[in-house]
Amino acid sequence: MSKKLVGKVAVVTGASKGIGASIAKHLADEGAAVVVNYSSSRDGADRVVAEITKNGGKALAVQANVAKEAEIRRLFAEAREAFGPLDILVNNAGIYEFSPLENVTAEHFHKQFDLNVLGLIFASQEAVKHFGPDGGNIINISSMVSTAAVPNAAVYSATKGAVDAVTRSLAAELGPRKIRVNAINPGMVETEGVHSAGIAESDFRKQIESQTPLGRIGQPHDIASAAVFLASNDSGWITGETLRIAGGYR
């Protein structure tokens, strides 16, 4: 079977672990050269690159905090230097902090909005400069909390509601330039972050699973295969959409 992304160049932000790492590996498996961005987890990013190259793929780890404009510019400059013009950006880097309303602070708000929304916008802005004449593809990793009511997540949910809105707006704005923009809205996915937050073995997980028609939480590959679809010509007439991947959870 022919690979779907041969000759393509992709940047995946926050790709040292979890969903981002799985997306990077899946894009590489389909033939894309992948820039594995990380903010602090150098070891994780190096492991992802090593796995891709061991399987015959092309990948490079590049450190950059995508909440910072200057670092975003450097990330895309290094990507271009390594692999040439860009075709795919996956805006996966994000942070979540839960807090009851009475504990919300300006710092709690800005920490999440600066990365989840402003960083995503700046990364998209920079990616557009590096796309070739054939256009490009932006995939934003949002969350089901953009529409599901989750207590203690007012700020995090607000960032993901903003990501959905940005996705629709940029799709309308960039479509004439042959740039597609879509979002994936995962449900709960079993990642390192979910384990370290103590959610993986929690009653909250059991509650989600009991309300999920398919009876389980997600795995990173559940999201990564959808990212491949949105990055490829298989979805060539799809833009401005939010694809909810949550096992039927509402």
Task: State the sign of the Cα–Cα–Cα–Cα dihedral 66, 91, 59, 50.
Answer: positive
Active-site residue identified among 38, 96, 156, 249 = 156
Instruction: Check if 156 is active-site.
Output: yes
Is residue 19 within 8 Å of residue 48, measured between CB atoms?
A: no
Known catalytic residues are 156
